[in-house]
Amino acid sequence: MLDRSPISIDGETPQPAKPVSGYEVVDFAQVTPVRCPCGWARRAFAETTDFPGTIHVTEISADSQLHYHRQLTETYFILECDPGAQLQLNDELIELRPGMCIMIRPGTRHRAIGKLKVLIMVLPKFDPADEWFD
């Protein structure tokens, strides 16, 4: 029988390698929502070191707050929205409908008006310290 215990080099015991997989699966129904300026967000891949961003499913309430990010770029894909839902981008209002995608650069003030559900890709990874309010 072969001895498969780690070999010590310079007095340090090497750590076993973690299994490598070509993919990760997130069931958003199992992700605990957190409060955000827009409503409630379920955030995935924050701890995934080899993925450069985070993916959120966010349920936006009618009372979302105008805010911006100094470092983050957000891309909103509209999954569902009530009739008349809008996205405020600086001083402009964009009428929304399911299937639309909006990329929001750093420094752009934004908020949703109406109720909607969006898939948001955030690059680099979401950082709650990068939420700014006027």
- C-alpha distance across the termini of the chain, in Å: 68
Closest CA to 36 of 110, 124, 99: 110
Predicted confidence (pLDDT) per residue in 74-108, tens digit: 999 999 999 999 999 999 999 999 999 999 999 99
* Angle CA 84–88–91, to nearest 5: 125
CA 22 to each of CA 7, 19, 25, 50, 51: distance values in angstroms, whole numbers, following the listed order = 28, 10, 10, 11, 12
Peptide bond into 124 cis (omega under 30): yes
Level-2 CATH architecture, domain 34-126: Sandwich (2.60)
The pLDDT score that the predictor gives to residue 101 is 98
* Cβ-contact 61, 85 below 8 angstroms: no
What is the residue extent of each domain of the chain? 34-126
* Burial status of residue 112 (CB atoms within 10 A of its CB: 0-12, 13-18, 19 or more): buried
Confidence tier at 20 by pLDDT (50, 70, 90) = low
Per-residue model confidence as pLDDT tens digits over 114-129: 999 999 999 999 999 9
What mean pLDDT comes out for the span 11-22?
56
pTM above 0.95, yes or no: no
Rg over CA atoms, the chain: 20
